[in-house]
C-alpha cells in the first residue's frame, strides 16, 4: 500500500519536477560548456546563464551557483509542498486518500518523504554534474577539491525545510491567505542561519535538523486533528 501511495504521489508531482530538472540540466550544461552555442544563447533569456565560465568551479561562481540552486529548488519545493497538501482538499480526494488502510500519520509521512526525495534528487543533479566535470583532468585551468562544494551542499540541505514550510502552509486551514503563509515565511530565518553559519556541523546542521523536525511535528499534528 505504501508503494502504491508513492507511485500515486510521483505521478502527480512529476509535472512540477520535470521543468526544474530541465533548468538544472541547462545550467549545468552552461557551466561545463557541454551545451554549445544553443545553451550560450539562453544567457540572454534565463538569469544566471550570462557571463564567462569560472576558472575555479564552485569558488569563483559559488554565489551564482548557490543562488541558482536555491532559486530553482525553492520554486520546486514550494510547488511540491502546496501540491501535495492543499490540492487534495480542493479536489475532494482527501476522504478517499484517508480511507486507505494506513494510519493518517503514515499517509502524510509517505507524502512528505516522496516529495522531499524527488526535490533532493532534482537539486543534486547540477551539483554532481558540475562536480564530476570539475574533477575530470584538463577540463578547466583551476584546481578542484570536492570540499569546494560545501556551500552548494548546504543550500541543498536547506531545500527540504522550504518544502516543509510550503506543506505546512498548504495543510493549514486558515481563512486569511497571509496567515496561512506564516509557516512558509518562518523558514527564512533558520534557512539563512544554516547556510551562513561558519560552524556547519556544530551549529548550522543542528539548527536545520531541529527546524525540519519541528515542521514535521506541526504537519502531523495538523493532519491528525483536521476534519476533512
* Domain locations in the chain as residue ranges: 2-225
pLDDT at 213: 96
Packing angle of the helix pair 205-225, 150-171 (nearest 10 deg) = 20
d(CA 228, CA 223): 9
Instruction: Please report the pLDDT score of residue 32 as a whole number.
Output: 86
Dihedral sign, Cα of residue 195, residue 25, residue 129, residue 38: negative
Q: Is the pTM of this model over 0.75?
A: yes
Write down the pLDDT at residue 175.
Answer: 64
Q: Give buried/exposed letters for 63-75 (b at 16+ CB in 10 A, else e).
A: ebbbebbbebbbe
Percent helix, percent strand, percent coil in the chain, to nearest 5:
75, 0, 25
Rounded alpha-carbon distances, angstroms, from residue 10 to 83, 94, 202: 11, 17, 35
- Dist. CA 124–CA 69, nearest whole Å: 9
Q: What is the pLDDT of residue 112?
A: 95
pLDDT at 50: 57
Decide: helix, strand or coil at residue 28.
helix
Neighbours of 206 (CB within 10 A): 14
Q: How far apart are CA 149 and CA 53, in angstroms?
A: 16
- Closest to 120 (Cα-Cα) out of 149, 156, 92: 156
Phi-psi region of 102 (alpha: psi -120 to 50; beta: other; left: phi over 0): beta
- pLDDT at residue number 111: 93
pLDDT reported for residue 102: 79
Q: Which residue has the cell 562536480?
A: 131
Measured torsion, CA atoms of residues 118, 122, 128, 131, in degrees rounded to the nearest 10: -150
pLDDT at 46: 64
What's the confidence (pLDDT) of residue 158?
Answer: 96
* pLDDT for the residue 181: 85
Tens digit of each residue's pLDDT, the chain (228 residues): 788 888 888 999 999 999 999 999 988 888 887 877 776 666 556 665 655 677 889 988 888 899 999 999 999 999 999 999 887 766 666 666 767 777 888 889 999 999 999 999 999 999 999 999 999 998 888 889 999 999 999 999 999 999 999 999 988 876 655 667 888 999 999 998 888 888 899 999 999 999 999 999 999 998 887 766
- CB-based contact 79:21 (threshold 8 Å): no
Beta-carbon contacts of residue 87 (< 8 Å; ≥ 6 apart):
12, 170
Distance set, CA 177 to CA 88, 182, 228 (Å): 18, 9, 19
Amino acid at each position: 500500500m505504501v508503494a502504491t501511495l508513492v507511485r500515486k504521489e510521483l505521478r502527480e508531482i512529476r509535472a512540477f519536477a520535470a521543468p526544474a530538472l530541465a533548468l538544472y540540466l541547462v545550467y549545468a550544461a552552461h557551466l561545463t560548456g557541454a551545451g554549445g552555442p544553443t545553451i550560450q544563447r539562453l544567457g540572454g533569456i534565463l538569469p544566471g546563464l550570462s557571463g564567462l565560465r569560472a576558472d575555479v568551479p564552485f569558488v569563483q561562481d559559488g554565489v551564482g551557483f548557490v543562488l541558482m540552486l536555491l532559486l530553482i529548488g525553492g520554486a520546486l519545493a514550494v510547488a511540491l509542498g502546496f501540491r501535495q497538501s492543499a490540492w487534495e482538499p480542493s479536489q475532494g480526494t482527501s476522504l478517499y486518500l484517508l480511507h486507505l488502510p494506513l494510519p493518517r500519520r503514515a499517509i502524510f509521512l509517505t507524502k512528505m518523504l516522496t516529495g522531499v526525495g524527488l526535490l533532493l534528487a532534482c537539486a543534486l543533479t547540477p551539483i554532481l554534474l558540475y562536480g564530476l566535470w570539475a574533477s575530470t583532468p584538463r577540463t578547466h585551468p583551476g584546481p578542484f577539491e570536492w570540499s569546494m562544494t560545501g556551500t552548494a551542499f548546504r543550500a541543498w540541505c536547506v531545500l527540504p525545510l522550504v518544502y516543509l514550510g510550503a506543506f505546512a502552509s498548504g495543510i493549514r486551514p486558515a481563512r486569511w491567505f497571509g496567515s496561512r503563509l506564516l509557516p512558509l515565511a518562518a523558514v527564512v530565518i533558520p534557512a539563512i542561519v544554516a547556510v551562513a553559519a561558519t560552524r556547519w556541523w556544530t551549529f548550522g546542521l543542528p539548527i536545520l535538523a531541529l527546524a525540519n523536525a519541528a515542521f514535521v511535528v506541526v504537519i502531523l499534528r495538523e493532519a491528525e486533528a483536521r476534519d476533512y
